[in-house]
Structure 1
Amino acid sequence: MHSVLQFSGVLHVAGGEIAIAPALALLDALAEEGSVQGAARGVGISYRSAWGRIAALEKTLGRAVTVKTKGHGSVLTAFGAEFAVALRVTAERCQALLDAEAPVLDARLAALLPTPAPLLRFAVSNDALLMQALAGHAVAILGSTDAVARLAAGAVEVAGFHFGSHQAEPGSVFAALFEDLTLHIRPAFRREQGLMVAPGNPLGIRSVADLPPRRARFVNRQAGAGTRIWFDRLCAQAGIRPKTILGYETEEFTHQAVAALIASGAADTGMGTRAAAERFGLSFLPLGEETYFLAQRRAEDPSRLEAILEDLARRAGETCGYAPP
């Protein structure tokens, strides 16, 4: 057993609370990149979320931590830079104490717990149903293409992916997967995807072709995500140039995050699962059904994945917007 204790302290100030690790990561990224957009990429959040975190931090502190420079992006204020240094010193000292305690915790747990079977490592495209079935395993949530790349690199035992059609396009990374005789690819479940819109569909959106003329504020998924690949294919089929879609460059990393922005009124539409739309009380315009796959190397013990696939099939049969494979 090897315990990893991660510092996740909260700073209490007169204006409220500040989670130290996320705040420090954003400030460091801003100092390195020199722009909020670059900082957002560096910490893996959207541009809008980054500005929201900065605004919340400044409100709590009562002081500006960033300043826009004309033609040069945004930089830390003198206060922001010193605040980042103070957070870093505290975080490093606390982490050193936690690192020293980890072996002590290992020894105590070893005397209490039986030796567990090694966890399967997963790299998967985001799906709420899948996350429930993978509780207790090591899971990295990525886009479909990145998940496949992790499997190819040997960094994980299983990759989860989808591509929004019944058959992978010839020459694509997904087509190559099905041709790889070293892999065992299993359908895990089917799910419905479509356009999520505000309740009642106030803009009268019926298809992807309606987005540009109605000036609908769109929320996209990150490059490499299976849903993004599907949406781009729909745009190409409809003869729509992505740049004509308002908000096409706005990216979120999960179906739930897209749905939350629409529910909050910050966006009008985005592509996602029926389950995500229902969870946030949104209207849903179906675009089609897809199969979600799990890929595992044939050299691995297939029985370890079998129980997960059976659990997924059961969950899919009980959940709106899903079906067994």
Structure 2
Amino acid sequence: MFKLSIKPQWQLVRGDARHLLPRVVELLVGIDETGTLVGACERMNLSYRYAWGILQEGHQAFGVPLVDSRRGRGAALTPLGEKLVWADRRIAARLSPVLDSLASELEVELERALSDAQGILRLQASHGFAVELLRDWFARQQIPLDLKYRSSLEALAALNAGACDLAGFHVPLGEFQREALQQYSQWLQPTHRLVLLATRRQGLMVAPGNPKRVRGLADLVRGDVRFVNRQTGSGTRMLLDLLLRKEQLQAQHIEGYDTSEYTHAAVAAFVASGMADAGFGVETPAKRFGLEFLPLASERYFFACSAEFLSSATMTRVLASLRSPELKAAINALAGYDGMQAGTVMTVSEAFPERR
């Protein structure tokens, strides 16, 4: 079984149509993460002389240096160098789920071309970092996976249409659970079986040091706080709207409420790049991008399937994998995630007694 990886790559073209060396951004990322040009060269397997030439070409193209190199103090990116690095991170954060879905589809096609592939797991799911883990985990367990990232509503609709075997969706715990379930009522059937993947925290992501002194949702309507949201139809945006309504806050008073990204990581990258002062999402990308996180709600992430599929040979292997101590430990290592109950099977009424 093959595992396919697709990474975004972009390049800069000058006004005279001349391409800058495509590795200039990769080199800048390496310098930012290692703190030295030598460290970046070692990571990229480049000679120091060649790497220096890349930086000089960038300097000539832009008319300003990309790196400030000081004897005995390593190397630091200039403001332009930092902008290029954050552009790269935003591109990766926005496109990675799309590319992961495409890679998964191509893996399935390769598997079918090379053998009479059986037991391919068709998963449509709201993007999350525990789900992201599963792609690598299932590959190691030799469980063929056809993964497509969709909103929670789209995933459940696909399950009802027979377009997938498992649908990943998330529901807040506590006072908003009943109202969130109403959004899913058309697609979540009493005959479905639910498999818990994890619980996780959602909240506000803010810049290091919290320079705008954001303490809660009420600060978003002050006028001096730029916000970035998740896309319409996502479970995360639905949760934010419920929280805003509870505090009697008007979305139209939030600068940037209509500015949206399609993943939690893209929201975090948007804030970390300085384009917004706050965003709403899960804790994991906030920590990865060096942001501060203000938890506001907890939620459970489930996979829904039919009772028939639950007893299939494929699902038996999936459940064994989800219940493994190694996977639970990997989920627990994600900031804000708890995977100790991963693999727990419930009926809809057991998971949500208020629906009885």
Q: Kindly state the Cα deviation for residue 152 of structure 1 after the two structures are TM-superposed.
A: 1.6
Specify the alignment match of 2:124 in structure 1: 123
Q: In the alignment, does 2:320 pair up with 1:307?
A: yes
State how far apart, in whole Å, the 2-side matches of 1:306 and 1:193 are.
Answer: 26
Q: 2:205 is matched with which residue: 173, 176, 196?
A: 196
SS, match of residue 332 in structure 2: helix
RMSD: 3.4
State how far apart, in whole Å, the 1-side matches of 2:211 and 2:157 are.
Answer: 40
SS, match of residue 162 in structure 1: strand
Q: Which runs of 5+ in 2 are unaligned?
A: 23-60, 62-105, 140-144, 342-356
State how far apart, in whole Å, the 2-side matches of 1:12 and 1:193 are.
Answer: 36
Specify the alignment match of 1:16 in structure 2: 19
Specify the alignment match of 1:317 in structure 2: 332
State how far apart, in whole Å, the 2-side matches of 1:196 and 1:313 are.
Answer: 25
AA aligned to 2:152 is: S
Specify the alignment match of 1:140 in structure 2: 148
Would you say the 8 A contact 1:144–1:225 is kept in 2? yes
Q: Kindly state the Cα deviation for residue 169 of structure 1 after the two structures are TM-superposed.
A: 2.1
Q: Kindly state the Cα deviation for residue 129 of structure 1 after the two structures are TM-superposed.
A: 2.3
State how far apart, in whole Å, the 2-side matches of 1:191 and 1:271 are.
Answer: 13
SS, match of residue 158 in structure 2: helix
Would you say the 8 A contact 2:127–2:149 is kept in 1? yes
Task: Classify 1:260/1:171 alpha carbon distance in 2 versus 1 (closer, same or farther; 3 Å).
Answer: closer
Q: Kindly state the Cα deviation for residue 116 of structure 1 after the two structures are TM-superposed.
A: 3.5
1:1-325 equivalences under 5 Å are 14-16=17-19, 115-135=116-136, 136=139, 137-166=145-174, 167-169=177-179, 172-175=182-185, 180-300=189-309, 301=312, 302-310=315-323, 312-324=327-339, 325=341
AA aligned to 2:283 is: R
Q: Kindly state the Cα deviation for residue 176 of structure 1 after the two structures are TM-superposed.
A: 5.4
Alignment: residue pair count: 234
TM-score by length of 2: 0.58
AA aligned to 1:140 is: K
AA aligned to 2:337 is: Y
SS, match of residue 139 in structure 1: strand
State how far apart, in whole Å, the 2-side matches of 1:288 and 1:276 are.
Answer: 16
State how far apart, in whole Å, the 2-side matches of 1:207 and 1:255 are.
Answer: 19
Seq. identity, %: 37
SS, match of residue 117 in structure 2: coil
SS, match of residue 260 in structure 1: helix
AA aligned to 2:306 is: R
State how far apart, in whole Å, the 2-side matches of 1:170 and 1:323 are.
Answer: 21
Q: Which runs of 5+ in 1 are unaligned?
A: 20-58, 60-101
Task: Classify 1:212/1:199 alpha carbon distance in 2 versus 1 (closer, same or farther; 3 Å).
Answer: same
